Amino acid sequence: MATIAEVAARAGVGAGTVSRVLNHSPKVSETTRARVQAAIAELGYRPNPLAQGLSRGRCRTLGVVVPYFTTPSPVERLRGVAAALDGAQHDLVIFNVESVAHRDDFLGTLDRRDRADGLLLMSFPPPPADLARIVTAGVPVVLVDAVAEGVSSVVVDDVAGGRMATEHLLGLGHERIAFIGGDPDEPLGFTSADDRELGFRQAMADAGVEVDESLVRYGTHAREVAVAIAKDLLRQAAPPTAVFATADVQALGVIEAVRSLGRHVPDDLSVIGFDDIELSAYVGLTTVRQPLFESGQLATRLLLEALAGDTTPTVHVHELPLEVVVRSTTGPRPPGGGPT
Amino acid sequence: MATIAEVAARAGVGAGTVSRVLNHSPKVSETTRARVQAAIAELGYRPNPLAQGLSRGRCRTLGVVVPYFTTPSPVERLRGVAAALDGAQHDLVIFNVESVAHRDDFLGTLDRRDRADGLLLMSFPPPPADLARIVTAGVPVVLVDAVAEGVSSVVVDDVAGGRMATEHLLGLGHERIAFIGGDPDEPLGFTSADDRELGFRQAMADAGVEVDESLVRYGTHAREVAVAIAKDLLRQAAPPTAVFATADVQALGVIEAVRSLGRHVPDDLSVIGFDDIELSAYVGLTTVRQPLFESGQLATRLLLEALAGDTTPTVHVHELPLEVVVRSTTGPRPPGGGPT
DNA sequence: TCACACCGTGGAACCGCTTCCACAGGACAT
DNA sequence: ATGTCCTGTGGAAGCGGTTCCACGGTGTGA
């Protein structure tokens, strides 16, 4: 691989001049520029990114710290990231988090510009101390699906989303509505499900419908867990007529459980989820759609802007819209279902 | 951020000695080592990866070049990559390919050790010239779902897989079997579907069943495309009684089409796919399972081995097993279906 | 004509690390 | 006592760029 010195020698100029041509500096005469470019072409020269990085103090890299990056919603968000990154001069580095140790590992070492030019923290609340260190180190950060002081973020209003889902069910006449939230022992401390629960309770209260606490459950996103919860709910003396699951993957588990018990969705049980992952459209799941793709895309754009402009952009919380997508897993309360 | 020189000064030693401590060189006395380590701890020093990379000539990075990395099967493979990479001192860089231009872009610039220490080329046949350049440049490469001379790869026997799927249908009594292959105009030139077609034709020939060419179709992996093909097949005067789709995503489109026409799977049409993506288990799709996760995992291990040992490992084609997973979308040929 | 500004350029310093080379000093054999 | 070997160490060179500084040459104004 040719070096800048060889190019310089061949073009009969100094290394500095080659660098200037490379970086489109205006202070190079046309004739010199042409000579240098010819030399570059002849030698097939491409600058060493490591050397550039060392010299410039950055590394043409965008880091995405994301839990379980192969699960449906992170994947959708990453699609957006990749789309926004297309053509940009940055490599996409994925830091896959599957435990607190992972998270701390990454967050502990990413507080420097030579590790990543910018950071996208996705779907988990970063420990304030870590975040502060990273920001102080001058690494631009954008949060997705999380908020923190002093950092831009892309979010949805999960409380409103919880309300929307619940109101949809209430509007269909349901009153015995079960709720399935996230795993309370989740070590990474996801909070969206909690906010959605808040919205659920608000909507119920506003409608004057009491929440039956025996219908409020929590579980991980593993399908079997949702299946088990749903089976248990349906076997109760007074089963719910509808379920609001705070994640589509859970809602799909619920549907599976209903079927395995020989019951039908939505006749025996209405099911609404949250996210609108790709699978949901296929299955016909009614859900609260959040713009996953767009969240990744927007966050990446914000980050790229922060990298491009030398002026620090204003910190802002970007809120993306939610929307109930009615498909075929919710329907009116069955005649006999629950109290009138 | 502290530099190695500051650490050296604080410990009262030379920079070289600090570097030796950092790299666990045996030729440092215990007392010196302790002093240096103390200085490192006090300053919270961590070496600059860019500088290390420049000096050592590599960059602690593993590149994965993969088409449509957010679609189901690449995602499964990437899960395996991430799993194998856990704990390894390498960052995972994703090069998402969605066009020939992308591919050529990446392959054109990745032929140097300072871009990526090792490369995983996933699910597309790399142009021989590009591959040769990369290998010549001394960048270790492992292919997944593709083969090429002089490079290790992880594959399945697609011809055998095509045969297995077809034999499963033949065994159920089907004779009018439709085949849905990949898009022949796919610019990236995927070949697995072609091999599966070969297996399909072999199995049909072996069984003495003639292939009705009007039942052989090709299309992209977009769901609507498979839906359209399936509808067209079913509207024929003599519709097939079974379909072998060379990808699960296509098979799912077929099922959707059958349903939308008011017919039933498998009573009216048996459907078998290929891959066994996560969704398939959920839907109950019968399919030829290929170990996607394992393919990524194994390939990554091979690559890491190649990076660790200074001795070049032997080139080898690793063949992973295939298996027909019978679920609920295939059944016996209906009484009236096709010629006896 | 001279002073001054400015443009384009070469070259050195620097980014932060690794590694090679040279060398001091102690252990050992002669 | 002298020579040899070995161990541990400091320091310089090098990795391949960017950027700053100095300088020669040309153009402009007085």
Give the pLDDT confidence of A274-320 residue by residue, as tens digits.
999 988 998 899 999 999 999 999 999 999 999 987 667 789 999 99
Residues of A in contact with B70 (CB under 8 A): 75-76, 78-79, 82
B178 min Cα distance to partner chain A (Å): 23
pLDDT (mean) for A77-83: 96
| B134 CA → D12 C1’, Å | 34
pLDDT (mean) for A115-133: 96
Give pLDDT tens digits for A30-69. 999 999 999 999 999 999 999 999 999 989 999 999 999 9
pLDDT (mean) for A76-83: 96
Residues forming a β-bridge with A95: A65
| A29 CA → C1 C1’, Å | 30
pLDDT (mean) for A182-203: 95
Tokens representing A206 are: 């506003």
Scored b (16 or more CB within 10 A) or e, A40-70 reads: beebebbbbbbbbbbeeebbebbbbbbbbbb
The confidence score (pLDDT) of residue A310 equals 65
A101 touches strand D (CB under 7 A): no
Query: Which residues contact residue A2 at a Cβ distance below 8 angstroms, ignoring those fewer than 6 apart?
Result: A43, A44, A45
β-strands B270-275, B317-320 pairing: unpaired
Give pLDDT tens digits for B103-144. 999 999 999 999 999 999 999 999 999 999 999 999 999 999
Give pLDDT tens digits for B229-244. 999 999 999 999 999 9
Top pLDDT among B57 and A179 is at A179
Angle A100-109/A128-136 helices, nearest 10 degrees? 20
Top pLDDT among B259 and A1 is at B259
**pLDDT of B339 over the 60 cut:** no
A3 touches strand D (CB under 7 A): yes
Give pLDDT tens digits for A315-339. 999 999 999 999 999 999 988 655 5
Arithmetic mean of pLDDT over chain B = 94
- The conformation of residue A57, written as its DSSP 8-state character, comes to T
Place of tokens 């793709």: A293
Closest residue, CA to C1' of C10: A14
pLDDT (mean) for B150-177: 97
The confidence score (pLDDT) of residue B261 equals 94
The confidence score (pLDDT) of residue B309 equals 76
pLDDT (mean) for A20-37: 92
Calculate the alpha carbon distances from A13 to A18, A21, A46 in Å.
7, 11, 17
The confidence score (pLDDT) of residue B338 equals 53
Which of chain D's bases lie under 7 Å from a protein CB? Answer: 7-21
Confidence grade of residue B310 (pLDDT, cut at 50, 70, 90)? low
Which residue of chain B comes nearest to A253, CA vs CA? B282
The one-letter code for the residue type at B314 is: T
Scored b (16 or more CB within 10 A) or e, A248-287 reads: bbbbbbbbbbbeeeeeebbebbbbbbbbbbbbbebbebbb
Scored b (16 or more CB within 10 A) or e, A122-153 reads: bbbbbeeebbbbbbeeebbbbbbbbebeebbb
Q: Cβ B114–A50 below 8 Å, yes or no? A: yes
pTM for the complete prediction?
0.94
Tokens representing A90 are: 């940055």
d(CA A270, CA A333): 8
d(CA A292, CA B223): 20
Confidence grade of residue B156 (pLDDT, cut at 50, 70, 90)? very high
Residue B26, SS3? coil
Place of tokens 């083969």: B147
Tokens representing A213 are: 């606490």
The confidence score (pLDDT) of residue A340 equals 45
Among B66, B77, B79, B94, which would you mutate to test the A interface (most chain A Cβ atoms within 10 Å of its Cβ)?
B94
The confidence score (pLDDT) of residue A336 equals 67
Instruction: Find the nucleotide nearest A52 (Cα to C1′).
Output: D17
Give pLDDT tens digits for B25-55. 988 999 999 999 999 999 999 999 999 999 9
A40 min Cα distance to partner chain B (Å): 15
E-strand stretches of chain B: 61-67, 91-97, 118-122, 141-144, 152-156, 177-181, 216-218, 242-245, 270-275, 286-289, 317-320, 323-325
